[in-house]
């Protein structure tokens, strides 16, 4: 699907300025439609509508009316929703006979694309739901992260951070979805590449009520603990010791190492087989 400035031409013309996307075509005329003549979008990505939110929306519509028109596409027997299903459902519950609507023509692929973007932009989604929506745009419609960012009005880095949440174990994603831990906590856990460690620290976060900064400090400490310890630098022997080592090597015909400090130390003579060991012993005046 060809994209124009981050979005398909069809998407820009269909949604216009309704969800904050500038359109190159005239937005369209708002008309009044009977909610009963409108069918829900069979490809709406989200099927759950929170009861409390719907109650608040109905109260707002009852007091102020529908301030933002829904978007529909014509069908053989009426219209199908493109965007605004919550407003449409609320209007039906309230028994309204007319709702403001903009009619646009589209194909099935654009219908799903638009419904998905409208869903992500308008709903109070948790970070994991947003991340799944972004991934759907990337996988199903071939959006790049830059194009997703343009559609959502976000920075590319923000979209990338959401998508990275999906790399976490399902258990942690569940905690993010429920709000048990925040997106900041989750991002800190991503610094730990082992799934077991991520789950371990997630449990600690919940149990101790740690802040994001606390977790970042803990994770940094864990990573430092796992860094290999630096071996102490090997000190070169003094010229005097090096000379003695060389004389020992010539005498025994083997590698010799002398370690000396304040008059105390060790002399190590290396051998590779029994014959070398016997030769070194004989050089030392020891019969075997």
Q: Residues with catalytic annotation? A: 85
Instruction: Please report, in angstroms and rounded to a whole number, the separation of the first and last CA atoms in the chain.
Output: 86
Strand partners for 71: 83, 102
Distances (CA, A) of 56 to 73, 125, 134, 257, 259: 27, 16, 27, 84, 82
Phi, psi of 207 (to 5 degrees): -65, -40
Query: How far is it, in rounded angstroms, from Cα 91 to Cα 5?
Result: 35
Query: Position of tokens 């978007």?
Result: 71
Burial letters 106-137, b for 16+ CB under 10 A, else e: beeebbbbbbbbbbbbebebebbbbbbbbbbb
Strand partners for 269: 256
């Amino acid at each position: 699907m060809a994209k124009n400035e981050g979005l398909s031409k069809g998407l820009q013309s269909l949604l216009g300025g309704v969800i904050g996307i500038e359109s190159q075509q005239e937005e369209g005329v708002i008309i009044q439609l009977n909610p009963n003549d409108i069918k829900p979008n069979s490809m709406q990505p989200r099927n759950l509508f929170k009861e409390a939110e719907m109650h608040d929306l109905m109260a707002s519509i009852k007091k102020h009316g529908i301030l933002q028109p829904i978007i529909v596409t014509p069908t053989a027997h009426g219209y199908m929703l493109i965007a605004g299903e919550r407003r449409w459902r609320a209007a039906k519950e309230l028994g309204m006979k007319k709702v403001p609507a903009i009619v646009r023509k589209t194909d099935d692929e654009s219908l799903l694309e638009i419904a998905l973007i409208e869903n992500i932009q308008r709903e109070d989604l948790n970070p994991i739901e947003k991340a799944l929506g972004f991934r759907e745009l990337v996988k199903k419609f071939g959006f790049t992260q830059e194009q997703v960012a343009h559609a959502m009005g976000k920075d590319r880095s923000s979209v990338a951070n959401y998508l990275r949440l999906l790399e976490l174990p399902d258990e942690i994603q569940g905690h993010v979805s429920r709000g048990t831990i925040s997106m900041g906590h989750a991002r800190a856990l991503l610094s730990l590449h082992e799934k077991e460690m991520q789950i371990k620290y997630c449990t600690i976060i919940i149990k101790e009520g740690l802040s994001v900064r606390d977790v970042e400090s803990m994770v940094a400490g864990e990573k430092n603990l796992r860094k290999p310890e630096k071996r102490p630098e090997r000190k070169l022997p003094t010229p005097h010791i090096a000379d003695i080592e060389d004389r020992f090597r010539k005498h025994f015909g083997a590698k010799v190492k002398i370690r000396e400090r304040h008059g105390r130390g060790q002399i190590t003579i290396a051998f590779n087989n029994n014959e070398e060991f016997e030769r070194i012993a004989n050089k030392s005046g020891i019969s075997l």
